[in-house]
Amino acid sequence: MKKKFLAGGALFTALVLLGSGVYFYNSLPKLRSYEQVKTQYQSSDLYILSHDGKLLHQWRKNKDNRSFQWTPLADISPVLISEVLKSEDRFFYEHTGVSITSLVASLYQRSFKDSSRGGSTITMQLLKLIAPDRAQYSGMTGKLRQILSAYRLEKSWTKKEILESYLNLIPLRGEYKGVTSSSWALFNKSPSGLTLKEAVALAVLIRSPNAGVKDWKNRACWQEPSLCSEFPAFIAELAKKTLESSTHNVALHLAQRLSPHFVSGEIKSTVHMDVQTYTQEVVKSQIQNLQAQNVNDAAVLVVENATGNVWAYIGGSGISDKKFVDGVRSYRQAGSTLKPFLYATAFENNILTPNSWIEDSAVDIVFERGIYKPQNHDKQFYGWVQVKTALASSLNVPAVKVFKLLNDESFWTRLQMLGFKNLKEPEHYGPALALGVADVTLEDLTQAYRTLANNGIYTDLRFTSNDPEPKARQVFKAQTAQDVAYILAQSENRALGFGLDSALSTQGASVKTGTSKDMRDNWCVGFNSRFTVGVWVGNFSGDPMWNVMGVTGAAPIWKKVMAFLDANYPSAKLSLASAQKEITPPEKYPQARIVYPQDGMIMALDPAIPRGHQKMPLLAEGPHPAGLQWKINGKKVAGNKSILWTPETGRHTFELYQNQKLAQKVQVLVK
């Protein structure tokens, strides 16, 4: 009898409230529009988007709650929408904000079933989610205010707008807000791809977000009896999750780089999702294959030549424990990757041509800090070779000789013009700069090769759609860049060092590898007419790899990425015909030169050593040694390629003749 009295009282109260609704109607709180709610929505995370708006990476900025990007209704699985309506508002598309059936059912449940089931529609629930002060909808008066406001909301908003806003704003398990954040947290997928079982498990959480496993399972079974046998184990496993979202990680390092530039919750990058994802998988696979050889880390940069747009930015292998180190911006020893710019400088200064001959033989290079004895990686010497072979086969001795031929700081200056940062002064490196002892970043190295691909023109990279159009500067003449590109594109040029069939044998692309001292770093950088791809492989810890060269470590990654680009974003073949025509014919008798002493050198005799025991070497190189002749202060001396001279105080002139013609003259002051 008491329950009937209570039910009658509750119904009477409801009728009184409805009857006085006209009084409240004009004093209802002002409602925000759908556009205002969506615009004012704040994601707890920052987002990196691909060039076409796809999510590449996200990371958290708000620690109070967890909400992701606003998700359109079209991007939410229909099965999830259906299960939410089934659980929360079966008559959503039939009522106009208030369901009398649900209200009566709620009153009945509260009065006779001791149930706390509410009669609020999705529209009424949304009002609390968007209200500046939720207290205005509390109590009996507040309930009337909520009912009347729901009618008003349905008149100004569409059903689609109401449902979409509700699904984005509804609080769910733990700190998560909206179905998108919970979907990623629980199932590691967007709400567009949820299965029926997943949709049910998520939908029944709305009524009691932090329900225990038992209640959660019971609600799911009540909602979808056909799957009840699967829910106990499934929900028990979901309940174990920490709900720390396993979001996209493919652009972690790009996100770190761009984070200072955020002006809103998201930023659209120039990265292409398919290229980024494929490259990351190739890197992961290659490093897994090399882990037995003590290789754990890698980085890749893919750049479009014409625009400078970065299409892929992989800062790490994805399997290393040093996941926050950015390999694209880390400084590592360049190895042989600087040689193309050394030879380009020599071409630019008209010292050599691609078909010039240079001797690959043992030599002692004397410089301010001592004597340098360069060797090739295989400890062999190949005698007289053409410059194009020396470069493409990465011979060390010819590179050092080219450096000495320049006899100035022009190579170092070109490296600065190419954008290499943090270079020490030239004297710090000495002739070893020719072999890449300088520390460089993958970003700067890739940029330098892109300059060759762009006919010697350098421009900055672009990482976002808002980056300004880059300014251009000419570093090398177009002909010089084309000459180097052609050399690096021909398999026969690198046959001496790598054979004709290697990971570098790619049609229509120019490529160079490099390996630093003790195999701590290896590189592969190259380009076709549309893209430049740079790859670094090694260990962020600095530990050496075990028998891994550039051609076996970085080159396989480079080759696969280039093949993917060529298949999906075809490019014209490199236009290098002009470079072939301009290259001079092979020179049978290249110019001899003085290796030591250098012009302008100042020497001092050691008073502690007897004069007759002090010797200075005269070193020369050139074809046909028998045709070489030295003159000291105008007088012929015995010997051709190398002799020992007893120094005397004063200024002295040393002349080298080749076939009775003066090849070079230097002057030295002895004190």
Write down the domain spans for the chain.
2-40+72-173+187-239, 297-582, 593-670
Lowest model confidence (mean pLDDT) among 181-195, 417-431, 438-452: 181-195
Q: Of 499, 52, 198, which Cα lies nearest the Cα of 190? A: 198
CA–CA dist 493, 488 (Å, integer): 8
Mean pLDDT of 610-627: 79
CA–CA dist 269, 287 (Å, integer): 27
> Any residues with CB less than 8 A from the CB of 469 and at least 6 apart, and which?
none
**φ and ψ of 336, to 5 deg:** -75, 0
* 647 SS3 class: coil
Burial of 670 by CB count in 10 Å (0-12 exposed, 13-18 middle, 19+ buried)?
A: middle
Lowest model confidence (mean pLDDT) among 143-147, 200-204, 540-544: 143-147
The residue assigned the tokens 């060529």 is: 566
The answer to whether 503 touches 552, Cβ cutoff 8 Å, is yes
Q: How confident is the prediction for the chain on average, in pLDDT?
A: 84
CA–CA dist 166, 125 (Å, integer): 8
Mean pLDDT of 609-623: 79
Q: What's the pLDDT at 246? A: 41
Q: Write down the H helix ranges in 490-586.
A: 495-498, 555-568, 577-582
Q: What's the pLDDT at 243? A: 44
> Residue 76 — very low, low, confident or very high, per pLDDT cuts 50/70/90?
very high
> Residue 15 — very low, low, confident or very high, per pLDDT cuts 50/70/90?
low
More confident residue, 490 or 137: 490
> Residue 324 — very low, low, confident or very high, per pLDDT cuts 50/70/90?
confident
CA–CA dist 184, 243 (Å, integer): 9
CA 515-517-518 angle, to 5 degrees, is 100
* Alpha carbon distances (Å) from 74 to 156, 162, 164, 167, 671: 21, 14, 9, 12, 87
* Alpha carbon distances (Å) from 215 to 82, 196, 221, 233: 21, 19, 10, 14
* Alpha carbon distances (Å) from 613 to 522, 606, 616: 46, 10, 10
pLDDT tens-digit series, residues 539-565:
999 999 998 887 888 999 999 999 999
CA–CA dist 398, 384 (Å, integer): 10
Q: Token pair for residue 543?
A: 């530990």
Residue 602 has pLDDT above 90, yes or no: no
Q: What is the DSSP letter of 382?
A: -
pLDDT tens-digit series, residues 122-144:
999 999 999 877 777 877 778 88
Q: Of 331, 335, 296, 336, which Cα lies nearest the Cα of 316? A: 296
The yes-or-no answer to whether 2-40+72-173+187-239 and 593-670 have a common fold is no
Q: Of 400, 365, 401, 363, which Cα lies nearest the Cα of 381? A: 363
Q: What's the pLDDT at 588? A: 39
CA–CA dist 574, 527 (Å, integer): 9
Residue 245 has pLDDT above 50, yes or no: no
* Alpha carbon distances (Å) from 207 to 87, 170, 220, 276: 8, 10, 12, 40
Q: Write down the H helix ranges in 375-477.
A: 387-392, 396-406, 410-417, 426-429, 442-453
The answer to whether 479 touches 577, Cβ cutoff 8 Å, is no
**φ and ψ of 7, to 5 deg:** -65, -45
Lowest model confidence (mean pLDDT) among 440-444, 546-550, 630-634: 546-550
Most confident of 384-388, 464-468, 558-562, 645-649: 558-562
CA–CA dist 382, 357 (Å, integer): 12
**Paired residues of 268 in beta bridges:** 49
Taking domain 593-670, whether its CATH number is 1.10.1740.10 is answered by: no
Residue 464 has pLDDT above 60, yes or no: yes
The CATH code belonging to domain 2-40+72-173+187-239 is 1.10.3810.10
Residue 2 has pLDDT above 60, yes or no: no
The residue assigned the tokens 């190895």 is: 335
CA–CA dist 71, 169 (Å, integer): 10
Q: In whole angstroms, what separates CA 332 from the centre of its chain?
A: 16
Q: What's the pLDDT at 172? A: 85
> Residue 483 — very low, low, confident or very high, per pLDDT cuts 50/70/90?
very high
* 669 SS3 class: strand
What class does CATH assign to 297-582?
alpha beta
Q: What's the pLDDT at 590? A: 78
Mean pLDDT of 203-214: 89
The answer to whether 632 touches 650, Cβ cutoff 8 Å, is no
> Residue 470 — very low, low, confident or very high, per pLDDT cuts 50/70/90?
confident
Mean pLDDT of 63-77: 82
> Residue 182 — very low, low, confident or very high, per pLDDT cuts 50/70/90?
confident
Element (H, E) at 332: strand 332-333
Q: Of 253, 274, 250, 255, which Cα lies nearest the Cα of 266? A: 255
> Any residues with CB less than 8 A from the CB of 427 and at least 6 apart, and which?
368
> Residue 578 — very low, low, confident or very high, per pLDDT cuts 50/70/90?
very low
CA–CA dist 582, 436 (Å, integer): 29
**Paired residues of 440 in beta bridges:** 332
Burial of 463 by CB count in 10 Å (0-12 exposed, 13-18 middle, 19+ buried)?
A: buried
* 570 SS3 class: coil
CA–CA dist 504, 508 (Å, integer): 11
Residue 158 has pLDDT above 90, yes or no: yes
Lowest model confidence (mean pLDDT) among 18-32, 158-172, 493-507: 18-32
pTM for the structure as a whole: 0.66
Residue 263 has pLDDT above 60, yes or no: no
pLDDT tens-digit series, residues 214-235:
999 999 999 999 999 999 999 9
The answer to whether 393 touches 324, Cβ cutoff 8 Å, is no
The answer to whether 41 touches 28, Cβ cutoff 8 Å, is no
Q: What's the pLDDT at 572? A: 75
What is the chain's Cα-based Rg? 37
| Core vs surface per residue 376-389: b (16+ CB within 10 A) or e | beeeebbeebbbbb
